[in-house]
Structure 1
Amino acid sequence: MYMMKDIVRDGDPVLRKIAKPVTFPLSETDKKLAADMMEYLINSQNPEFAEKHHLRAGVGLAAPQVGISKQMAAVLVPAEDDESNTDKKTTDKYSLKLVLINPVIISNSVQKAQLFEGEGCLSVDKDIPGYVPRSARITVRYQDFSGNKQTIRIKNYPAIVCQHEIDHLQGHLFYDRINKKEPFAAESDVIFV
């Protein structure tokens, strides 16, 4: 089980590398990596467990963030009451619960979306203010645990989370996308989530 001490912090070179593709069939090590990353997210979203074990809440965790340079990320986005943010209807307590293996964004909207309060990251301990422009809607192709190619369309908050995690696999951190001169500049048609 991963704890905060296992999360690689900003400044570690692994966070700036392009992660290597995962090969199939999945090794037991890769299966455990996927399970452990998802377990961290589940535990971190449980207020009692998180407080007891000093976990920062997370909605996504990429393999480089635990020191493993592989193209794998876990995403766990709690469901919102008002709308579904993916093309799949869900009755689960999560709007998106997924392990992305070798993910690629194959299409994205021109319209941008960003979090009103800005983004944070388990690997970045300091608060870095500013808007992080992302595509409001994306289509992601990834591989499942059997190696089969899957495609999912995602919008709004889950899309932002997936783009943040895919950035990790490309050696980018969220603050790379903040406008350095005007950190709170926003496009006129941006969606705030």
Structure 2
Amino acid sequence: MNTELRPIIQIGNPTLRQKAAWVDDVHDPAIQELIDDLITTVAKANGVGIASPQVAQSYRLFIVASRPNARYPHAPQMEPTAMINPKIVSHSSEVVKDWEGCLSVPGIRGLVPRYQAIEVEYTDRYGNLQKQELTNFVARIFQHEFDHLDGVIFIDRVQSTLEMITEQEYQKLVSGNTK
């Protein structure tokens, strides 16, 4: 399998603000190649998720790939999962604020309110409809990536600029080093 590291576009690029197109054929070789490339790209970038609009491919497709890494040291481990034409079927009433960053918004973190639990549906890369309940950090990743499909970036959801910090300050926060 020959995968490619794709360049990640950054805030200001108009593709990030578009509503992404429905994927009609998950078996299309170009879609399968995009999935493989996204999995490679998110791993190399120390991300826990990536949406296809972030590599300038405006499709309703993203990867959830939670695992502990330098950017998210406490993330749970899971296999990278392609989620195609996803939707949120229902959600908890409980909303939790936590820190988020984005590969398309380098150097900035923000406290973002998200549903604590969500029930989702998506088509997997093999064309099967999947239904899952996601909670906590993985639910947060899904909601963050899902927003990308509608042209929404996490900073749009931060309630106050006082709830934004640099990546450097965030790393001090998670390591307990506040100096």
Q: What SS is found at the alignment partner of 2:65?
A: strand
User: CA RMSD of the aligned region, Å?
Assistant: 2.2
Matching residue's letter, 2:46: A
Tell me the equivalent position of 2:169: none
Matches within 5 A, 1:36-55: 36-42=37-43, 44=44
C-alpha distance after superposition, 1:21-59 (max 9, x if no partner):
0012521100000011012223x2xxxxxxxxxxx3100
Tell me the equivalent position of 1:69: 58
2:100 aligned to which of 106, 109, 119:
119
Matches within 5 A, 1:141-160: 141-160=121-140
Task: Return structure 1 stretches of 4+ with deviation > 4 angstroms.
Answer: none
Is this contact kept in 2: 1:15–1:168, CA < 8 A? yes
Is this contact kept in 1: 2:20–2:53, CA < 8 A? yes
Moved more, 172-181 or 31-40: 172-181
Tell me the equivalent position of 2:5: 2
Matching residue's letter, 1:26: H
5+ residue gaps, structure 1, are: 45-55, 80-84, 86-92, 185-193
Matches within 5 A, 1:17-166: 17-42=18-43, 44=44, 56-78=45-67, 94-95=77-78, 97-115=80-98, 118-128=99-109, 130-166=110-146
5+ residue gaps, structure 2, are: 69-74, 165-179
Work out the percentage of aligned pairs sharing the same amino acid.
34
Is this contact kept in 2: 1:114–1:160, CA < 8 A? no
C-alpha distance after superposition, 1:88-140 (max 9, x if no partner):
xxxxx83353100000011111111232xx21100012414x41000000111
C-alpha distance after superposition, 1:52-98 (max 9, x if no partner):
xxxx310001000000000000111127xxxxx9xxxxxxx833531
Is this contact kept in 2: 1:77–1:95, CA < 8 A? yes
Q: What SS is found at the alignment partner of 1:127?
A: strand
CA separation in 1, counterparts of 2:32 and 2:66?
Answer: 21
Is this contact kept in 2: 1:21–1:71, CA < 8 A? yes
- TM-score (structure 2 length as normaliser): 0.79
- TM-score (structure 1 length as normaliser): 0.74
Q: What SS is found at the alignment partner of 1:35?
A: helix
